Amino acid sequence: MVGTARFELATPCTPSKCATRLRYVPMDTAVEDDSVGFDLTILHHAAGFGTGSGPAISQTDGDDDHLPMDAFGGTWSLTVESREAFLAILITGGAGYVGSHAARALRRAGYEVVIYDNLSTGFRQLARGFELIEGDIADEAKLRTVLERVDAIMHFAAHAYVGESVGNPRKYFQNNVEAALSLLNSVLDTGIRRFVFSSTCAVYGIPGRLPITEETPREPVNPYGCSKLFFENALEAYGRAYGLRSMRLRYFNAAGADESGEIGELHEPETHLIPLSLRAATANGSALQIYGADYPTPDGTCVRDYIHVSDLADAHVRALQYLEAQRDEEADDSLAVNLGTGRGYSVLEIIKAVESATGHSVRRTIRTRRPGDPAVLVADPAKAQRVLGWVAERRLHEIVSSAWRWMQSAARCHAA
């Protein structure tokens, strides 16, 4: 038989799945009809197609028999509509702030996304529209069934309150180290070799020089930073020993919200400066607590590097694409990249931006310094631009205005 057909990619081949499912649709039918056509599965090996006269195929309409392709006889002219195999990515902690934005960035880039979250600090509403699997990263049995379906990992699931880590380090080492190592071993056992890690500038501690480069000594000053550094070290060791390719993204102060206003910063409790400043600008919000106004900075308040969460999400997609594009002979097993703007803003500058965006004054109270707070933390983002082709595009006013839209949207939903 002779004809023209369209084969639509349904499931890509991955290191853990050696079958590619295609949808066969005859092109010479008069009308599009769901009852016309059938699914085929091409079975092949990691090194190439199966042996024999051609790849084996099976009709997946209930018949599991595998036949060589030439068993269908004749000559086929195939129209290939897409050459891209869109990969499936597992996002641990994808119901959290940064993870939920990364999920949307991945979907816009054409990836399939599966979110895995125990919802201990995440929110179901931030995962709306995605497949959400509720589970803990320490649950190896449950995790393994999910890992068999994906091609790469983005790991966000971590406790992330600096103050809490000082008072309860056990909680941080159990989750950010012990459970994360369980995840890493499960990933390795499943055959996945691409891993993007949500790290932090807290691994640097109090830097001796500014701006902070990737070569700045890693000397964390709290258990949270120590737990992140431990996992970074594990990724480096697994890269050298097992060929796991990873990208460790050390980002600075994530802020802002998705431009749609559908998702944004949502923490309980909230400890970040911009949302707390926005709350302090509302009628019922508590006054903002400013810890220290006598630092060696132009206005006496701490200076930090604020990065829009959507820029951050874009960097994660670029990191994944970088790992995908590497060839074995040129691969660096584990890379670390700072994600920041290279421009710092003081607490008082943030307050001024919030007052401009909201049209309201920010009520505040000056308190004494908190132990361990550096005066200035600013990234050198040159490596991110050089390696990933990434620069932060959104400025402070966009960060604050998007956060304000999200807060207003969330308030309206809560009132309804």
Q: State pTM to two decimals.
A: 0.80
238, 310 contact by CB (below 8 A): no
The pLDDT of residue 329: 53
Strands (E), 151-308: 152-155, 194-200, 245-251, 253-255, 288-291, 303-304, 306-308
Structure tokens at 12: 């890509």
Walk me through the domains of the chain, giving residue ranges and CATH numbers. 3-79 (no CATH), 88-415 (3.40.50.720)
Looking at residue 332, its pLDDT comes to 66
Tell me phi and psi for residue 155, to 5 degrees.
Answer: -105, 110
Q: Which of 24, 116, 224, 306 is flagged as catalytic?
A: 224
Is the bond preceding residue 269 a cis peptide, omega within 30 degrees?
yes
Strands (E), 99-202: 112-117, 131-134, 152-155, 194-200
**For the chain, which ranges sit under pLDDT 70?**
1-86, 327-332, 411-416
Say how far apart CA 364 and CA 8 lie, in whole Å.
59
Q: Compute the chain's Rg from CA coordinates.
A: 25
Any catalytic annotation for residue 224? yes
Query: Would you say 334 and 234 are in contact if contact means Cβ atoms under 8 Å apart?
Result: no
Contacts of residue 236, Cβ cutoff 8 Å, sequence gap at least 6: 333, 334
Distance in angstroms (rounded) separating the CA atoms of residues 278 and 286: 10
